[in-house]
Structures are given as structure tokens and as C-alpha cells.
């Protein structure tokens, strides 16, 4: 391994620990669910390890709780197993070279949408990244083999997120920061949409108000990602 890769792994271990603490605080994961990130220039992926056996409080996640696996799901660095649903991550990385990070989580408000034919709509200004739509994978099974991982990747296609019926969600991004922020905002937006539907008919944000990056006009991807990531990272710092 080059010293450059070693440095990238160390940095991603740190960021995945931060991502985990943010996702726990937002009730997206714990005890199940896991963020991962592709290690640039390699076929390796850093992912939160399979921590269930120790009944560890994930709000205390540290860089040492992150393992490195190859795209077959075999651990190449770290002291614990990779998560059981590792194949959702590996097969999305194989299918989508543009993806640098994957979050798999089980948040309640998004799962509610997966149980109905009401689509998650771009209703909130911090969640328009998903304006192209969030498909639903029509099965609640664990994604615990490569074939199921490939089926989820095919259903995701070129989108930024997918719901798994009666199970959870998977969100992708170019970086661990972007994927984490997007996953949190998708769950917050799902909650807002449910609240608003109780008040009356819900209107989506007009597509004409969105930039090419699918952000509301005036907001850059850098601002969207790092303003929220930096703030939440500070709040959950250890």
C-alpha cells in the first residue's frame, strides 16, 4: 500500500466515525445501518465494522471501529467483520464509478414512504438533490449476497438514493460528507412531507428554481455539503 493510500484510509476512518455519530444522533442508524466510502485510487472500501457483537453505543464510534474491505466484501484491514449487508455497498461501487460514498440506514419516516405509493417529493429546500425521484426496491430482505446487491444497484440506476420496501434507505454521494448530509436531509424531508400532508395538499418546489446540481438557486454543492457537515461534526465531536 502506498503512503498516499494509508493517509487516505486514515482520513476516511475518521470521517466514517464522524458520519456514524451524526447518523446515530439523527436516528438514522443504531444498532443497524452503516456508512462507507471508496478509498480513492483503489478497489477498497472503508466501512463501519460489524459492531453488534459488542453491543457498542454507536454514538461513541471511533476510527478504530472502521474496517477496510475489497469489492468482494472480504476484510483486508481491521479487527472485526464487515456488516452483513456489505454487498449493497460493494455492488453499488462496482456499478457506479461516480459514487464515492454509500449510506445504508433504517429511518422511520423514509420507511413509511416505502410502504405506500406516495412518492418522496422535493418539498424542502435542503432536500432537492433528490428531485429526479427516489425509486423503491420492492423487497424487504437483507442484502446479504452479491446478487441482491446487484439488484439494488440496478434499481438505484443513476439516482442519488433508493428506498427499500419496509426496510430502509440507501443514499449515495460523491463524498462521505455529501452522502451523510443528503441522507439526513432525506429523512428530515420525509418527516416534513408527512407533517405537511396532514395539513393539506403538498406542492413540490418548482424545478425552475433548481440549479444543474439540483440545489435551490443560490446554494452551491460545496456550501450545502460542508456547512452542514462541519456544524454537525462539531456537535458530535469526541
Q: For residues 107 and 168, which CB has a smaller minimum distance to Zn ion in the complex? A: 168
Q: Is the separation of the CB atoms in 125 and 216 below 8 Å?
A: yes
Positive or negative: CA dihedral 52, 58, 63, 68: positive
Q: Is 222 exposed, middle or buried (0-12, 13-18, 19+ CB in 10 A)?
A: exposed
Q: Does 100 bind Zn ion (CB under 5 A)?
A: no
* φ, ψ of residue 144 in degrees (nearest 5): -110, 20
Q: Which residue is nearest to Zn ion (CB)?
A: 168
Q: Rounded to the nearest whole angstrom, what is the least distance from the CB of residue 167 to Zn ion in the complex?
A: 6
Q: How far apart are CA 142 and CA 124, in angstroms?
A: 30
Q: Does 83 bind Zn ion (CB under 5 A)?
A: no
> Contact letters (x/-) for Zn ion, 167-206, by CB under 5 A?
-x--------------------------------------
Q: Rounded to the nearest whole angstrom, what is the least distance from the CB of residue 143 to Zn ion in the complex?
A: 7
Number of helices (H), then strands (E), in the chain = 6, 8
Q: How far apart are CA 211 and CA 130, in angstroms?
A: 13
CA distances from 214 to 44, 147, 204, 231 (A): 29, 31, 13, 22
Q: For residues 25 and 106, which CB has a smaller minimum distance to Zn ion in the complex? A: 106
Q: Which stretch binds Zn ion (CB under 5 A): 12-20, 162-170, 172-180, 203-211?
A: 162-170
Q: For residues 152 and 176, which CB has a smaller minimum distance to Zn ion in the complex? A: 152
Q: Is 85 a catalytic residue?
A: yes
- 26, 77, 85, 223: the catalytic one is 85
Q: For residues 168 and 173, which CB has a smaller minimum distance to Zn ion in the complex? A: 168
Q: Does 149 bind Zn ion (CB under 5 A)?
A: no
Query: What size, in residues, is the chain?
Result: 238
Q: Rounded to the nearest whole angstrom, what is the least distance from the CB of residue 84 to Zn ion in the complex?
A: 8
Using CB under 5 A, list all residues that contact Zn ion: 168
- Which residues are annotated as catalytic? 85
Amino acid at each position: 500500500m502506498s503512503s498516499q493510500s494509508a493517509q487516505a484510509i486514515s482520513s476516511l476512518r475518521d470521517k466514517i466515525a464522524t458520519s456514524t455519530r451524526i447518523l446515530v444522533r439523527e436516528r438514522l442508524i443504531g444498532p443497524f445501518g452503516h456508512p462507507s466510502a471508496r478509498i480513492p485510487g483503489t478497489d477498497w472500501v472503508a466501512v463501519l465494522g460489524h459492531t453488534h457483537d459488542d453491543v457498542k453505543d454507536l454514538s461513541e464510534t471511533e476510527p478504530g471501529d472502521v474496517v477496510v474491505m475489497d469489492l468482494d466484501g472480504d476484510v483486508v484491514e481491521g479487527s472485526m467483520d464487515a456488516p452483513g449487508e456489505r454487498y449493497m455497498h460493494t455492488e453499488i461501487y462496482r456499478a457506479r464509478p461516480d459514487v464515492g460514498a454509500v449510506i445504508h440506514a433504517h429511518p422511520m419516516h423514509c420507511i413509511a414512504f416505502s410502504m405506500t405509493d406516495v412518492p418522496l417529493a422535493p418539498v424542502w429546500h435542503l432536500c432537492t438533490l433528490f428531485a429526479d425521484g427516489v425509486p423503491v426496491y420492492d423487497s424487504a430482505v437483507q442484502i446479504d449476497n452479491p446478487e441482491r446487491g446487484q439488484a439494488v444497484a440496478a434499481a438505484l440506476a443513476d439516482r442519488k438514493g433508493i428506498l427499500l420496501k419496509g426496510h430502509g434507505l440507501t443514499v449515495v454521494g460523491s463524498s462521505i460528507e455529501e452522502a451523510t448530509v443528503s441522507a439526513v436531509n432525506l429523512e428530515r424531508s420525509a418527516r416534513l412531507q408527512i407533517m405537511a400532508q396532514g395539513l393539506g395538499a403538498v406542492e413540490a418546489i418548482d424545478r425552475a428554481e433548481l440549479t444543474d446540481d439540483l440545489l435551490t438557486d443560490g446554494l452551491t454543492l460545496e456550501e450545502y455539503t460542508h456547512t452542514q457537515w462541519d456544524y454537525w461534526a462539531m456537535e458530535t465531536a469526541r
